[in-house]
Structure 1
Amino acid sequence: MPVRFTVEHPVGQAECAAGLYGPEGLAEFARAAEEAGFDAVAFTEHPAPSLKWLRAGGHASLDPLAALAFCAAATSRIRLLTYLLVLPYRNPLLAAKTIATVDLLSGGRLTLGVGGGYLRSEFAALGADFEARGALLDESLDVLRAVWSGESFGFDGRGFTARDQVSVPAPVQLPHPPVWIGGNGRNARRRAARAAQGWSPLLIDERFAATTRTAALSTPDDLAAAVADLRELTEAQGRDPAALDVQVQSSESNVLVDGGSLEEHRSQLKDLAEAGATWFVVRVPAGGLPETKDALRRYGREIIGELR
């Protein structure tokens, strides 16, 4: 299977030009990504980051589902990826309504990259239980799958009680939009194996892994071992491991930002694909719309076009 490509919007990069996340710039960005051949556009989230975290290297963000809804109106083909949506921040029924709305209005183009989150201060600011984030993530995934089943929904959750609730209209993609689980650890792979449609790890070293409260995966060999584990876990659930996507972000994701060699980049992509990656995340320069669009076109021409 050929690798497909996600472009992450650069709003999270330091000194991202304001024009890239204003209405005209955002629409042009999404259209340029689609025209260049990218398969998905992605936004991450941090709804209430601390000033300390931002000053220590954190980043700005848009609300991912709102931004993706805007991109949906400006495009016709490209998929829309939350990368990542922190489900424990939300009441799962409110999340279900927003997710279904974006999927409906985009004609069924939404993919849900989800995770448990890692910023303790952000959990506190949002009134969410940091220590229970794994259980909250699992609960939210169960609620999302159940509430779109077509029947009324009852559930005694953590902090909420549902009695014969419904969520209509349903998303276009049934039983639900694809769910990709973020995180490098085995718990993330267990979640993906149990009921998700993909796994979304980062190739990062021990230092960065500690910051984001996940496991380190440093090399394509590390990735290959983890993918083999994912496949075993998926087979144990009676599911086909070939049906799961694996989206990877690595230092090579910054090739356009850092000015690296695209020829060497192709070789790295081959190694990641052989390790089991089916999607790859690309980051683009954020100095201004012309520079960003040029980078999108170049990658589309020299990487996406060549590989296809």
Structure 2
Amino acid sequence: MKFALATLGLENYPPVVAPWERTSGGAEILRYARKADSLSWDWLTIPEHVVMPNEMVEHMGSRFIEGMSGAAVLMGATQRIHMLTYILALPYRHPLLLAKQIATMEFIAGGRFTLGTAVGHLEKEFEALNVPFEQRGKITDEYIAALKEAWTSDMPSFDGEFVKFKNVVIEPKPIQKPHPPIFIGGNSKPAMRRAAQLGDGWIPWLVTAENLPECIQYMKSLPEYQEKADRFEILVTTTAYAQDDHHVAYGETKIAADRDGVLREIEGLQKAGATSVQVRPPNTDTLDQCLEWVEWYDKEIIPQFR
């Protein structure tokens, strides 16, 4: 079992934002990242939205960082831990630019990046970026193929509907081979198919231990999954969100904080088929309290599942 730690301070998502996060800045975020780096956490997860439509601020908050620059800063501030965008909407960036950004971070920081990506869901955000919302699935599939070509070919070329390139050199290449892992987000069957067919892992959001086995069984029915079953990551958040697919709350989001509750939570997800979990610390009044809990989790919980 691997453990991803949500990087607090990068967003102000109303259902889970802690009091200290509301006024946090770079110093607090870097201190948090370095604490995780000094322990045994596998990833820091990095959220992203480029713009937030006004009507969604109530449900999602106003603060979301840009994922690539956020990952670069955190990689530069740490030595060991990997970064995982959770998630980056792939249609927002030309794949050559994204391939170069990721390869550059890997080249300088010695690898350590996992691309968590999906088709995206905020139509107004697509409109602001002049990206066709209705074609986001086709764009995502093509961009994934283009990323792999750019990362792995000495003489990359691509002739798609949305992106074309040839007669170019793209260096440096990523450190991780054949390319940085790609985890696909989304709770729908198309997202699961995309993960099984094109990805190295699946990172759903509103999937629980109760419905995870059914999802895994569906992916196992796909021929492409069988080829990568022994190395395919299924990363599920431990946060019990009480939100629908549109981020509208219907109850209180819950985060287990005590030892027995956390152990039951991880054991349930592991039994259901998760290979990794994303953990968000419970709400605390101060950063010091939060870091104490992160260290407690590292000492008391993670060793039970290694």
TM-score, normalization by structure 1: 0.86
Secondary structure of residue in 2 paired with 1:138: helix
The count of corresponding residues between Structure 1 and Structure 2 is 290
Deviations 1:78-125 (CA, angstroms, capped at 9, x unpaired): 111111111101111111111111122221110111100000000000
State the distance in 2 between where 1:167 and 1:35 align: 34
Is 1:244 matched up with 2:243? no
Choose which of 113, 117, 135 in structure 1 pairs with 2:116: 113
State the distance in 2 between where 1:237 and 1:276 align: 14
Deviations 1:215-241 (CA, angstroms, capped at 9, x unpaired): xx4x423101211222221x4566131
Secondary structure of residue in 2 paired with 1:144: helix
State the partner residue of 1:170. 173
Is 1:148 matched up with 2:151? yes
Q: Where in structure 2 are there 5+ consecutive unaligned residues? A: 243-252
Code of the residue aligned with 2:217 in structure 1: it is A
Secondary structure of residue in 2 paired with 1:153: coil
Choose which of 114, 124, 128 in structure 1 pairs with 2:127: 124
Does the CA contact (< 8 Å) of 2:4 and 2:43 recur in 1? yes
State the distance in 2 between where 1:147 and 1:70 align: 23
TM-score, normalization by structure 2: 0.86
Change (3 A) 1:240 1:56: closer
Mean CA deviation greater in 219-228 or 132-141: 219-228
Does the CA contact (< 8 Å) of 2:102 and 2:174 recur in 1? yes
Is 1:83 matched up with 2:99? no
Choose which of 264, 269, 281 in structure 2 pairs with 1:267: 264
State the partner residue of 2:280. 283
State the distance in 2 between where 1:18 and 1:298 align: 23
State the distance in 1 between where 2:25 and 2:254 align: 18
State the distance in 1 between where 2:224 and 2:299 align: 41
Deviations 1:238-290 (CA, angstroms, capped at 9, x unpaired): 61312101000143589x98564331221121111011101111112365432
Percent of aligned positions with the same letter in both sequences? Answer: 31
State the distance in 2 between where 1:266 and 1:83 align: 23
How far has the Cα of 1:183 moved from its partner? 0.8
Does the CA contact (< 8 Å) of 1:180 and 1:192 recur in 2? yes
State the distance in 1 between where 2:147 and 2:286 align: 38
How far has the Cα of 1:128 moved from its partner? 0.6
Is 1:32 matched up with 2:30? no
Is 1:43 matched up with 2:32? no
Does the CA contact (< 8 Å) of 2:142 and 2:162 recur in 1? no
Code of the residue aligned with 1:105 in structure 2: it is I
State the distance in 1 between where 2:135 and 2:109 align: 33
State the partner residue of 1:220. 209
Mean CA deviation greater in 116-125 or 45-54: 45-54
State the partner residue of 1:12. 11
Secondary structure of residue in 1 paired with 2:64: coil
Does the CA contact (< 8 Å) of 1:72 and 1:105 recur in 2? no
Code of the residue aligned with 2:32 in structure 1: it is F
Choose which of 200, 203, 209 in structure 1 pairs with 2:203: 200
How far has the Cα of 1:190 moved from its partner? 1.4
How far has the Cα of 1:153 moved from its partner? 2.7
State the partner residue of 1:21. 25
State the distance in 1 between where 2:69 and 2:264 align: 36
Does the CA contact (< 8 Å) of 1:36 and 1:299 recur in 2? no
Does the CA contact (< 8 Å) of 1:100 and 1:169 recur in 2? yes
State the distance in 1 between where 2:257 and 2:265 align: 12
> Of Structure 1 and Structure 2, which has the larger fraction of its residues in helix?
1
State the partner residue of 1:180. 183
State the distance in 2 between where 1:169 and 1:64 align: 20
Does the CA contact (< 8 Å) of 1:64 and 1:85 recur in 2? yes
Does the CA contact (< 8 Å) of 1:9 and 1:41 recur in 2? yes
Change (3 A) 1:287 1:115: farther
Does the CA contact (< 8 Å) of 2:238 and 2:255 recur in 1? no
State the partner residue of 1:73. 76
Secondary structure of residue in 2 paired with 1:132: helix
How far has the Cα of 1:303 moved from its partner? 1.3
